[in-house]
Structure 1
Amino acid sequence: MTQRDASALAARAAEAASAESALSGDEAADILFQLLLDVARRQHPQIASVLVGDSKVSDVTPELLSRVFQAHGIWFQLLAIAEQHSAMRERRQDERERGEAAVQGTFANLVATAAARGVEAAELRDQLASMRIRPVITAHPTEAKRVTVLEKHRRIYRLLVELEQPRWTARERAALIDQLRDEIELLWMTGELRLEKPSVDQEVAWGLHFFHETLFDGVPELLKKLDRALHQFYSGEHFQLTQFFQFGSWIGGDRDGNPFVTNDVTRRALAENALASLRHYEERLSVLLQRLSITERALPPPEAFREALARALAESGDGDQIAQRNPGEPYRQFLSCVLRKLKTTLARAERGRASGAAYYASADELIADLAIMEEALSESGSAGLARDLVRPARWAVELFRFRTLRLDLRENTTRLTQTVQALWRAKSGQEGEPPDADSPEWKAWIMAELAKPRQGASLGLSLPPDAQETLDLFKLACDRSEEFDREAFGSFILSMTRSVADVLAAYLLAKEAGMFRDAACVEACTLPITPLFETITDLRAAPAIMRELLAIPVVRRSVRAQGGIQEVMIGYSDSNKDGGFLSSNWELFKAQNRLTKIGNEAGIPIAFFHGRGGSVSRGGLPTAHAIAAQPAGSIRGRFRVTEQGEVVSFKYANRGTAAYQMEVLAAGVFEHALISEREEALTPRAEFDEAMEALSGAAHAAYAGLIGHPGLLAYFQAASPLEEISLLNIGSRPARRFGVRSLSDLRAIPWVFAWAQNRHVITGWYGVGSGIASFLDVRKERGAALLQRMFRESRLFRLIIAEVEKTMCLVDLSIAREYASLVPDASVRDEIFGLIEAEFALTRDMVRRVSEEHEIGERFPHYRARLDHRLPTINKINREQVELLRGFRASTNELAKEAYKSNLLLSINCIASGLGSTG
């Protein structure tokens, strides 16, 4: 780019920044596009011609095709950054114009509304005391961007923020433009595809990246916002904030079908999680040490602090030198002692060796030291410094402790059952087969083992290697929680839970590992066991399973010892794959309602862990709307949700966006806890429930007819890049749980990913049209009036219809037909595609009838505008991908196949970037 070009862009940016509207999304996107064009012109002029539309994708040589895909992929990424920046700026503008209390999704709005409605401070205190919100970062393979790319995105976002400031001179603004160009050029030269599958250790580093960038500082700021809102609208009231917002993780602990997550990997993940928090505290307290240059003459400390300082100096072993280095500055002296102790703690964690110097045995000790300093400043008359400087540091340690996040462990029932069967053989001394896992005899044996006092000799039982590895996982959880942090682990997630015996098997392994801490090991398990119900069948069976489970004494004792709440995880992905979008949402809603009642009857409340993915098909709904549509009384301030793949980078890569996403989640949960059981919109209505049951049944039948079609697997494998997606190195985990090539064994992520790539996107709409049409065939105009009323008054139904509409905007049947041309069997191709084409037309008509709109998606102008920027390019890449798939599959020469493979994978990556999600 010439200096004149840079100056021209800088002038446009300056004009926008000086205007009242600042730098709009379109202006930011235009600047980024011009810079990308400049890089492309210098690197490959022909690609620049494709970017501006003067040439077609098909015009370039096969050698340049990869660069075309990369250029389009970069543009989609830059466009997303510009949109995030614009959304953040609009939120700030909204707050400036209307005030924070008028902005939906903020704590200020929620607390102001509560005060206006006459909600007593005592009720707020009660709700806050029971609030527990935990987003859980998972290593599901849906993030196609490498950490090095994410870091460049972060710098581009920050440069856009800087560019819109009006204070810069023309020279300084041109320099910022140059920096933007440099970052885009570096993106151009950075390989988008991973050459090898990431290791689990690399995935751990990927997850921790977001804490270093935004979350270590962002979560304490979230608490500060709530604290400010409470004191603003409930002046004179005292609120003690608990650390209700914490993060969890599955990275390094989720071994469900992932052979690369071993116990050694889990140990390393725990160590890295601990080190990340300790290094952050060292950095944060070093800055605090520099700032707190308070002399005792200016602010004499209380006597209690002087005594604490004397003890700290004596314990440090170097008290005289510390006092001489900071003479007359007691707070610096105290912080020097704290930092010295923290550095020793960090060194012990890094090297795994003990030393004679004083260290923090737990996060509680560091919290206590920071509380001493905070109280001393407040008592001395500097409450502002205590609140603004020390309290956020204390909150950070309370939030992240010596573990950054809580690591969940996950395994499936098949593996656990095999382990317990091996245990049966070892304990009984028999070579034969144990009772059938579904039999009453099997459950009775497990119950009897749980009731027996644990014998020390049982630790020496000889088990097969796989079984020993699973048992050792529980031993690791038993031993390492004390080594790292008492909250190092979250819970044990039991995938594919099908029976009470499945859950009891996890309790038995925990007992064998020493996780029952009473002398006889029969009273209570210290590790929470969370059953995961995933398929439609499992969701329907969940209430009966949980009713029986919560009546078992050892389970009741364990839950009460762990805090009195039984957690249940519900799966959005597999229930959708199993039953279709409408039926999945209805079955999840019903299961939550029934499980909530069962928990109430048992005197043990049930809290839900929502296994949501990034796409609509896997539960990735707008946060506030999704929470607001949950059954009344089903949250009660406790909300766990998975944050998977590209969702993590979308929500938490940038500081402003992360702050917004966390506040929307926390405020939504708080609001639901406060008002859901008083809201008319969530009051159960028999006629609505009856209608939903009928709609769900017919929709499920239509969906089951498609996925049960004998030719669907062959169609899906040929008419999508399903098998080729597994060649993308975007996750350590295999695409199938047990390696069998069947639809039932295929994980939900590649199922959704492949249907999105080929633009059928059946996972977000198929069956809905048949469900509505069947309902109207029976109830005629009276039924149409009921559905239209439900659309207006039922949050769940309206949310389902809204997300179906959005998904249908992504469908392009002309492109889908080109993918279908890859199916060699004409009869299979025509029959399956005919079913999809007919259902799409029916769904479009039925949704328009219910919503009383002329066009699908017309209620979402911003969403449609976003797609208008992307779909023309995505369509071109889709058509190229069809030809690449054809050539790749037909190639017998390995060199030719490898050439096709690179471009094919880049096309998959590019389409995923354009759509904004993979699975």
Structure 2
Amino acid sequence: MTPVPHAVPSENDTIFAAPVITGTSGDEATDILFQSLIDVCRRHQPELERVLRGEANISELTPELMARALQVQGIWFQLLSIAEENTAMRRRRHTESTRGRAEVKGTFANVLAQAVEAGIPAHELHALLKELRIRPTLTAHPTEAKRVTMLEKLRRIYLVLRELELPRWTERERNALVADLRDQIELIWMTGELQLEKTTVVREVSWGLHFFDESLFETLPEVLYSLEETLAEYYPDERFEVPAFFQFGSWIGGDRDGNPFVTSAVTRTTLKRNARASMRRYRTRLMDLGRRLSITERALPTSEGFKAELAERLAASGDGDAIAGRNPGEPYRQFLTCVLGKLDATIERNKEEPVVLPGPFYTNADDLIDDLKALERGLDGAGCRSLAVNMVRPVRRMVEIFRFSTVRLDLRENSTRTTNTLREMWALSNDAKPDDAPDVASRAWRDWLSSELATPRTPTLPPRNLKELSEDAQETIATFALVAEMRAQIDREAFGAFILSMTRSVNDILGAYLLAKEAGCFLDGAGVEICQLPIVPLFETIEDLREGPAIMRELLAIPVVRRSTRWQGEVQEVMIGYSDSNKDGGYFASNWELYKAQAKLTEVGRQAGVPIAFFHGRGGSVSRGGAPTARAIAAQPPGSIRGRYRVTDQGEIVSFKYSNRGTAAYQMELTASSVFEHALMSERETPRSSRNEFDDALEALSGASRATYGQLISNEHLVTYFQHASPLEELSLLNIGSRPARRFGARSLSDLRAIPWVFAWAQNRHIITGWYGIGSALKNFIEVRGEVGEALLRRMFEESKVLRLVLDEVEKTLRMVDLSIAREYATLCPDQTAVDTIFPMIEAEYALTCEMALRASRGKEIAERYPAFRERLAQRLPVINQVSREQVELLRRFRAETDEARREDDIKPPLLLSINCIANGFGATG
């Protein structure tokens, strides 16, 4: 018998019957939000109240009202997410209050309590802290569908809900808060939710900085302080030095892979905006310190050491007498006035059109850190240690974390672009044409790269005349040239790394080193010793992941690479891609190949004496590597993290994690504590014998899954079916990112970016990217190995973190699939042969995957282990299902309409709102 993962609408359901949304959830926050939305409906368009209550026939609405109906449904999803975030935060606080911090999963206290119980000695923690490097990296793809102005209003709603939890309010005050909340919802109602034009990279930069201004500048230092407190509690006899191990990276304004709008000029602007964002926050904090530190020498004598520090700063300011005169007898205010003067000058120098002020300025964040340390010493030396620790040190820790760059900006480019630039350079050196260059995989090409890297740059050997290169090649080298220039001008940590996507060989990586040398990124003038910019290969497809260990083994034997990695922190970073490997081989094979690649690369690094750290290119959806943070980290190969962890936070995941301070603090602590736990525990857990047995089984399952998936994506009818039975082409009309949907303008499925591939399959409710092929793999495994194999599967379900993570996420995805709706999307395909070929394949594999997932888990219902997930989804599915059906009809009308004005004005707006609404409902775009 095939299990039914969830109820589907009956045949009597009309396509445009509105879903039922009630305001009786049992959760006060949800009920208040629902009633407030109803009130706003009544005020502006009372007929839409019936839509919210499930009493309207949406097919009878005018195009304008249909668009409004879709908007109000999307608003409800966003309000529901806020209520759920508020509830989750409240539950964590309740657990901490009633049972203690150690009982809250994902906290430092929880992990360190386990460490003490396991007898882990303090020296291991000391060693881990020295190696600890965590860097979530914000990317703008897929860009959050919500505009910054919308994010600000949603944050205000969250804050009002938090205020309403407090018992201190009178009825009058409480009513005022509810009125404020209703006003914010009304403002959302009247604010355009869709981007009316294609967003720009500069807007994406502003979007990213919004989260730092709202939460991250203040909360991240608190997270580090929380770790210090917790270490002192669980290891009271030890004194730990907690470095600024948690920092943020960004691709916004630096990722030019397939995005022609990210130029070196845009990257320069991005760096300056990032710099000013951090400096302005420091200025605000320093101004506050100046107001508070009104200590006079009459009340508290100043130490001789601080007097000397102050005299030095006053003399250097060029305005010392005036500063002393404004705050006579107040040494700490005088000192801070000097600091603020230098910071103001630094801010002015980092404007797009810099203004150079007379007087000193900071050349990098280290100088400001030194000034703040001097202030701490001065207060401490005067007997005010508490003021130094509680007032000055938090500001200093903030500067240590964010420096003068806010984020460490990565540059990313693909190997096709870098290779084309190198061919032009070769042609320039050899008086030939780029097409005459040796094959990039040949020994001759390697010899040329090696020779160029080894040749010193001297006055008798000037750089090539780059003006003879094409515009594209000049732009590529100009991007590298920014590194040395902006590190010197802004901050030594303004950049993170250069990510080389589509890395296929050692030659690709050496080519990036040569471009860095050509642009002046080497520390030595001759350009032969050390590259200051980490070059990070990105292995994306399954084939690339399999080749990765051999590539890195060869690369790490090359002297210039060894010298550079030693200077860069004695580690070589490797990025692994979840999206393209999924598109290439399906969900199971992708996860297994990523796991194997990490295990093998870790061993390569160990043998080479150069530890390899991994940068995980995860997206928001399960199909692109999205998974619960703690479990995703726990499922990495033993010993593969060792305290170093980078991961992309993409699009809507950024706002989910970092919009509000309480949630942001928890998410950052969750990430850090999970890295802690993996580093301390992973090699102490599963015995090697079991790991070998499990690995053999996972290899078999992966192969069978990929074979089934491959039969689908290689089918000659799939492209036709996918393009017509999903809103694939229409996604480009939704202005949620600055990048094109395809690389190099090609129109083939193989060149389609992974994001729209996943996005479109989610919109049409097939969601094959999160489960297809796994049912066949499990069935084949049991048929081949019999009862012994089934028993092994069940044991692995309990003991293998890799298999358990995969099957858990598969079951969650299966609950979101709805084949009755998918069948309606299939009617959009004019090629009946394609429909009759592809849909039955999907239908059969879906039924088999449901059946086999339950057989492996011994469950009775799909995702029964996750009641909270099922409850959240159940609140959303009635509306999502309705909007999906509306979208089918809108796609049909949009594609058939010949009147361009009607198509653009009447059909396109509700169609785009339907895409946005479904994405909001599921909480992920791509």
Q: TM-score by structure 1 length?
A: 0.96
- 1:776 aligns with 782
**Contact 1:46/1:60 (<8 A) preserved:** no
Q: Which amino acid aligns with 1:92?
A: R
- 2:856 aligns with 850
| 2:549 is aligned with 1:543 | yes
> SS in structure 2 opposite 1:243?
coil
**Contact 2:363/2:490 (<8 A) preserved:** no
**Contact 1:681/1:793 (<8 A) preserved:** no
Most deviating of 405-414 and 309-318: 309-318
| 2:430 is aligned with 1:428 | yes
- 1:507 aligns with 513
| 2:461 is aligned with 1:454 | no
| 2:388 is aligned with 1:386 | yes
CA distance in 2, matches of 1:193, 1:25: 32
- Which structure 2 residues correspond to residues 348-387 of structure 1 after superposition, within 5 A? 348-350=349-351, 351-387=353-389
| 2:898 is aligned with 1:892 | yes
- 2:246 aligns with 245
| 2:179 is aligned with 1:172 | no
**Contact 1:631/1:682 (<8 A) preserved:** no
**Contact 1:252/1:265 (<8 A) preserved:** yes
| 2:607 is aligned with 1:606 | no
- 2:347 aligns with 346
Question: Gaps spanning 5+ residues in structure 2: where?
Answer: 1-23
**Contact 2:25/2:31 (<8 A) preserved:** no
| 2:648 is aligned with 1:642 | yes
CA distance in 2, matches of 1:154, 1:647: 15
> SS in structure 2 opposite 1:664?
helix
Q: CA deviation at 1:371?
A: 0.5
Once the two structures are superposed, residues 795-832 of structure 1 have per-residue CA deviations (whole angstroms, 9 ceiling, x without a partner) of 11011000000000000000000000111111110110
Instruction: Specify which of 888, 904, 917 is matched with residue 911 of structure 2.
Output: 904
Q: Which amino acid aligns with 2:377?
A: E
Aligned residues: 897
CA distance in 1, matches of 2:306, 2:102: 39
Most deviating of 531-540 and 112-121: 112-121
Q: Which amino acid aligns with 2:131?
A: S
Q: CA deviation at 1:681?
A: 7.0
CA distance in 2, matches of 1:198, 1:389: 40
Once the two structures are superposed, residues 570-602 of structure 1 have per-residue CA deviations (whole angstroms, 9 ceiling, x without a partner) of 000100011100000000000000000000001
- 2:17 aligns with none
Q: CA deviation at 1:356?
A: 2.2
CA distance in 1, matches of 2:214, 2:866: 32
- Which structure 2 residues correspond to residues 299-338 of structure 1 after superposition, within 5 A? 299-338=300-339
Q: CA deviation at 1:25?
A: 7.6
Once the two structures are superposed, residues 396-443 of structure 1 have per-residue CA deviations (whole angstroms, 9 ceiling, x without a partner) of 111111111100000000001100000000111113511112222212
| 2:914 is aligned with 1:913 | no
- 2:278 aligns with 277
Q: CA deviation at 1:143?
A: 1.3
CA distance in 1, matches of 2:297, 2:634: 52
CA distance in 2, matches of 1:694, 1:236: 50
CA distance in 2, matches of 1:346, 1:271: 9
> SS in structure 2 opposite 1:198?
coil
Q: CA deviation at 1:117?
A: 3.1
| 2:206 is aligned with 1:200 | no
CA distance in 1, matches of 2:195, 2:379: 51
Most deviating of 907-916 and 429-438: 429-438
Q: CA deviation at 1:732?
A: 0.2
Structure 1 runs of 4+ off > 6 angstroms? none
- 2:28 aligns with 27
| 2:51 is aligned with 1:45 | no
Once the two structures are superposed, residues 615-664 of structure 1 have per-residue CA deviations (whole angstroms, 9 ceiling, x without a partner) of 00000110000111111110010000000000000000000000000000
**Contact 1:632/1:683 (<8 A) preserved:** no
CA distance in 2, matches of 1:747, 1:843: 26
Q: CA deviation at 1:395?
A: 0.5
Q: CA deviation at 1:192?
A: 0.7
Instruction: Specify which of 392, 396, 399 is matched with residue 397 of structure 1.
Output: 399
CA distance in 1, matches of 2:525, 2:370: 32
Most deviating of 514-523 and 724-733: 514-523
- 2:711 aligns with 705
**Contact 2:363/2:489 (<8 A) preserved:** no
> SS in structure 1 opposite 2:125?
helix
- 2:267 aligns with 266
**Contact 1:496/1:532 (<8 A) preserved:** yes
**Contact 2:164/2:177 (<8 A) preserved:** yes
CA distance in 2, matches of 1:254, 1:835: 38
CA distance in 2, matches of 1:70, 1:440: 59
**Contact 1:677/1:683 (<8 A) preserved:** no
Once the two structures are superposed, residues 512-567 of structure 1 have per-residue CA deviations (whole angstroms, 9 ceiling, x without a partner) of 11122224221121110000000001000101111111111111111112111000
Instruction: Specify which of 410, 413, 416 is matched with residue 411 of structure 1.
Output: 413
**Contact 1:222/1:659 (<8 A) preserved:** yes
Once the two structures are superposed, residues 86-132 of structure 1 have per-residue CA deviations (whole angstroms, 9 ceiling, x without a partner) of 11111111110111122221112222332333322222111101100
**Contact 1:623/1:665 (<8 A) preserved:** yes
- 1:12 aligns with none
**Contact 1:142/1:917 (<8 A) preserved:** no
CA distance in 1, matches of 2:619, 2:482: 29
**Contact 1:454/1:512 (<8 A) preserved:** no
Once the two structures are superposed, residues 462-487 of structure 1 have per-residue CA deviations (whole angstroms, 9 ceiling, x without a partner) of 11111111111111212121111111
CA RMSD of aligned residues (A): 1.4
CA distance in 2, matches of 1:382, 1:838: 73
Once the two structures are superposed, residues 199-219 of structure 1 have per-residue CA deviations (whole angstroms, 9 ceiling, x without a partner) of 100000100000000000111
CA distance in 2, matches of 1:99, 1:202: 43
- Which structure 2 residues correspond to residues 457-476 of structure 1 after superposition, within 5 A? 457-461=462-466, 462-476=468-482
CA separation of 1:673 and 1:24: change in aligned 2, threshold 3 A = farther
- 1:214 aligns with 215
> SS in structure 1 opposite 2:745?
coil
CA distance in 2, matches of 1:719, 1:519: 58
CA distance in 1, matches of 2:632, 2:332: 47
Most deviating of 589-598 and 39-48: 39-48
Q: Which amino acid aligns with 1:376?
A: G
Q: CA deviation at 1:682?
A: 8.1
CA distance in 2, matches of 1:391, 1:175: 38
Q: Which amino acid aligns with 1:379?
A: G
| 2:887 is aligned with 1:881 | yes
CA distance in 1, matches of 2:452, 2:693: 48
CA distance in 2, matches of 1:24, 1:229: 37
CA distance in 2, matches of 1:202, 1:63: 28
- Which structure 2 residues correspond to residues 110-149 of structure 1 after superposition, within 5 A? 110-149=111-150
| 2:751 is aligned with 1:745 | yes
Once the two structures are superposed, residues 15-36 of structure 1 have per-residue CA deviations (whole angstroms, 9 ceiling, x without a partner) of xxxxxxxx99821011011110
> SS in structure 1 opposite 2:631?
helix
**Contact 1:676/1:682 (<8 A) preserved:** no
**Contact 1:572/1:584 (<8 A) preserved:** yes
CA distance in 2, matches of 1:684, 1:897: 60
Q: CA deviation at 1:683?
A: 7.4
Q: Which amino acid aligns with 2:397?
A: W
**Contact 2:549/2:604 (<8 A) preserved:** yes
Q: Which amino acid aligns with 2:611?
A: P
**Contact 2:725/2:828 (<8 A) preserved:** yes
Question: Gaps spanning 5+ residues in structure 1: where?
Answer: 1-22
**Contact 2:363/2:491 (<8 A) preserved:** no
- Which structure 2 residues correspond to residues 403-802 of structure 1 after superposition, within 5 A? 403-431=405-433, 433-455=436-458, 456-461=461-466, 462-680=468-686, 685-802=691-808
CA distance in 2, matches of 1:772, 1:481: 52
**Contact 2:345/2:356 (<8 A) preserved:** no
Q: CA deviation at 1:319?
A: 2.5
**Contact 1:629/1:682 (<8 A) preserved:** no
CA distance in 2, matches of 1:682, 1:913: 43
